[in-house]
């Protein structure tokens, strides 16, 4: 497999994840926090995380070192986010049924509860940082895409934001990945590209 095909494959994986991610708030609105919703959410976020490899490598010359740091931090953020989703959606219900005394204020016991709290704070920060890195990059439509990506973490404070911002994120992310996977972007990559960025 050539490098170009490999990046396109990662980008397609990310596109699938972004599309799948749009179903999560709908499922949550209909069914609440269920096992199925948790699994779909975790799979979607894992695919989005893998797609970030294709996003950065495809746009490395336009994102620079700041983009590299932001992308890597967001990938770490997705790891924490998936961990948090699995704990809250799969572990907490078991504790609620068999050991309800261990669940305080809706959070699993220590140290799991602390780890979830850190994840809930860390991921939004990495998402905002990644959105800013796109906003200041040289990617086509960078300002619009960066703004849409940055809006994601504010879904909990906006009216109906929890249902709207995933679609905004998915649209912007899908645009980035589709441009790569569709062959509309020159994927030739200079190994010195990142190091020569200001």
Q: Model confidence over 100-151: pLDDT tens digits?
A: 777 777 777 777 777 778 877 888 889 899 999 999 998 888 899 998 888 8
pLDDT band at 156, cuts 50/70/90? low
Which residue shows structure tokens 């596109």? 15
Distances in Å between the Cα of 135 and the Cα atoms of 47, 115, 141, 145, 174 are: 23, 30, 9, 7, 16
pLDDT band at 184, cuts 50/70/90? low
Tell me the per-residue pLDDT of 22-42, one tens digit each, with 9 for 90 and over.
888 888 888 877 888 889 989
- Distance between CA 2 and CA 8 in Å, rounded? 10
Domain extent for 76: 3-98+107-181
The answer as to whether 187 is a domain residue is no
The answer as to whether 155 is a domain residue is yes
Predicted TM-score (pTM) of the model is 0.79
* pLDDT score for 71: 94
* pLDDT score for 183: 58
The answer as to whether 157 is a domain residue is yes
The answer as to whether 194 is a domain residue is no
- Distance between CA 152 and CA 146 in Å, rounded? 10
pLDDT band at 15, cuts 50/70/90? confident
pLDDT band at 157, cuts 50/70/90? low
- What DSSP string runs through 17-62? HHHHHTHHHHHHHHH-S-HHHHHHHHHHHHHHHHHHHHHHHHHHHH
Residue 93 gets the label, from left (phi > 0), alpha (psi -120 to 50) or beta, of alpha
The answer as to whether 192 is a domain residue is no
The domain total for the chain is 1
The answer as to whether 197 is a domain residue is no
Kindly report which listed range (14-28, 42-56, 65-79, 180-194) carries the lowest average pLDDT score: 180-194
The answer as to whether 25 is a domain residue is yes
Smallest Cα–Cα separation from 167: which of 26, 9, 8?
26
């Amino acid at each position: 497999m050539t490098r170009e095909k490999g990046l396109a494959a990662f980008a397609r994986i990310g596109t699938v994840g972004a599309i799948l991610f749009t179903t999560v708030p709908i499922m949550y609105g209909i069914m609440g926090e269920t096992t199925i919703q948790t699994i779909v959410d975790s799979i979607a976020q894992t695919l989005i995380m893998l797609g970030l490899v294709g996003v950065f490598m495809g746009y490395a010359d336009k994102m620079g070192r700041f983009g590299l740091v932001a992308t890597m931090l967001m990938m770490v953020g997705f790891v924490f986010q998936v961990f948090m989703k699995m704990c809250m959606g799969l572990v907490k219900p078991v504790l609620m049924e068999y050991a309800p005394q261990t669940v305080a204020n809706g959070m699993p016991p220590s140290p799991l509860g602390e780890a979830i709290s850190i994840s809930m704070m860390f991921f939004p920060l990495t998402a905002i940082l990644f959105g800013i890195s796109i906003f200041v990059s040289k990617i086509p439509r960078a300002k619009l895409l960066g703004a849409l990506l940055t809006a994601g973490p504010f879904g909990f404070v906006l009216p109906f934001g929890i249902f709207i911002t995933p679609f905004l994120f998915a649209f912007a992310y899908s645009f980035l990945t589709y441009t790569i996977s569709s062959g509309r972007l020159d994927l030739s990559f200079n190994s010195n590209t990142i190091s020569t960025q200001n």
